[in-house]
Amino acid sequence: MSKTAENSLKRVEAIALNAQGKGLRNELGDSATTGLYSIRLKQKGSLNLQLKENKANAYAELIQDRNRNARIDSGESLGRSQLRQGKQSLNLKNLDRGTYFLKVHVGADRPATYQLALSTQPAYSTSQTSGGYQYLKSGSSQSRGFLSDLFGNLFGGSSSRWNGSFINRTAANVADYNSYNFSRPDLKKNLGGRGKSGKTLARLKVNYGSESPGSAIQDDNYAMQAWTQVSLKSGKFYEVRSDSNDGTRFFFRDRKTGKVVTSLNGDWRSNSSGEWTQLLSVPEQAGGSFDFYVQYYEKTGDSAIDISLKEVQPTAQVITDSTLNLRSKPSTLNNSPIAALDSGTNLKILSKVQSADDTNVPDWYQVSTPDGKKGYVAAQSNLVQLNGGSNSIANFGSGNNNGGSTSNNNGGTPNNGGIQPGNSNNNPQPSPSGGGGSSDGKINSKGLKVVKSFEGLRLDAYLDPVGVWTIGYGTTSGVRAGMRITEAQAEKYLQEDLLRFEKAVKSNVKVPLTSDQFSALVSFTYNVGEGALGSSTLLRKLNQGDYQGAASEFARWNKGDGVELPGLTRRRSAEKALFLGQDYTAYL
């Protein structure tokens, strides 16, 4: 790189950070040896910076172009970061309002990775920390995501803290979460540490009383969204608890794909009193790192938020009038009971599973009894009562869960399903029937047409409904605000994404597939995510060789926040038709 190019200030990335610390969360990918950014302060204040990098000689430099010639001249450097406690730090006070340039030097070796955290403090403020934050991440395309968990406690916006955004609402729409837009909040606020302790993964407890969270937010009729990072283990149970006023709802976003994998709406109620709890079962191979979100609305009166997420071991009690059959497998079909459990028998819940062949009783608990017996009982709230406040266990990764009771799926008397044995044919052996010949492990042209038709092509970055930056054909990895790409780049990103989802289908499906079946599943996974596929009833039925049963499961995945979406209904119909080797084009 020439000295002239190295000193140029013409090609920069702008950081949307103002003197109140209201920034935006962003990701940048760059394999160059320097990173150059511009910052505009709208009033006099201080700037705090911390840099984490994989090069021992990396540092950051703040520059002011005093003669406005778009070059770095002698005397225009205001300061360089210094190594303190393993991080490069820079703290400059009494900066006048105006535009400044931040240059990151990472040496000549490539690729280089680094991550910045920036915070500003107005000169007149007495607060110790800024509520705003800005994260920048840089590296080669292979290193994207490498530093997503690198920082612990920086200035806010950290995965180890609760990061809050607040928006003002009206009395008419304060509880209408479908119309929330947290991409431009009226207030961003650091709500404190994650609250991890023992089995508790996260806890948020704040009480604003009759006051507002900040001067930019009104006392009544506002909404909050807060998030922190959590790690969920496969095969474990978790309890989401809320004792808040007014309503709270929750969702989990996969940190790899940016997609929402589970949402809980069961406590979205005005002036709630008493605790609300919901148990979650994380299936095998569905664990991982997730962003745990809570949304809260305050209508009138006192504002109190107290929510938690913790790992638990569920227990239950048999509550039938007679006895409950314990079975050797999760089905009433061709499966005689191995024991009869009396009412009042205590149970330890080992897992929640779905039957591979019993459509009348699809949901089951694997349990152990006090005398050491193990088996399966129907997961119906009129047969088995969970201890601890929750009356059902939701399946993590299955999209929307409203909480509440598990209904009697038979529609018959309470003893049906869990007690009476049934009759049916044996589960069919795997025999794929669809179009396109045998699968070669790649999406075919039909599946690609389905994906492109429903994802659509957008060349400018945009925020999806849950605030994830998206571009091209639904790409979320490495996307930042203001990003613009060409159609060729969109196609490249699509092919990179498809490789991941093709791999997910190949690793999860254990039965033979035709090319059309494989392609339909790739389109499905592209939309719902790998975790959702891995924990789905569709996959369970498919791996049992029930191809028709698996095809019927596509239609269940057509909702967003519990509301049927016509676009998802058409997409699921197209994927089902493709899976069965039928005409899918009528739904495009």
Q: From residue 216, give the alpha-carbon distance in Å to each of 18, 22, 211, 270.
A: 15, 12, 12, 23
State yes or no: is 311 an active-site residue: no
How is residue 544 annotated by DSSP? T
How is residue 173 annotated by DSSP? T
> Active site residue: 455, 530, 553, 575, which one?
455
Q: From residue 14, give the alpha-carbon distance in Å to each of 7, 104, 121, 200, 507.
A: 17, 14, 19, 39, 41
Three-point CA angle 200, 202, 205, nearest 5°: 110
State both tokens at 468: 């994830």
Q: How far apart are CA 41 and CA 28, in angstroms?
A: 21
DSSP E strand stretches across 42-152: 45-53, 59-63, 77-80, 82-84, 87-95, 98-105, 114-122, 134-138
Q: From residue 368, give the alpha-carbon distance in Å to each of 319, 321, 341, 349.
A: 16, 21, 11, 7
Please confirm whether the linkage preceding 246 is cis (ω < 30° from 0): yes
Q: Which amino acid is at 316?
A: A
Q: DSSP H helical segments within 338-486, as ranges? A: 445-455
φ/ψ region of 527 (left if φ > 0, alpha if ψ in -120 to 50, else beta) reads alpha
Q: DSSP H helical segments within 486-514, as ranges? A: 487-508
Would strands 134-138 and 559-560 be described as parallel, antiparallel, or unpaired? unpaired
User: What are residue 583's DSSP bridge partners?
Assistant: none
Q: From residue 177, give the alpha-carbon distance in Å to each of 296, 466, 554.
A: 9, 11, 26
Catalytic positions = 455
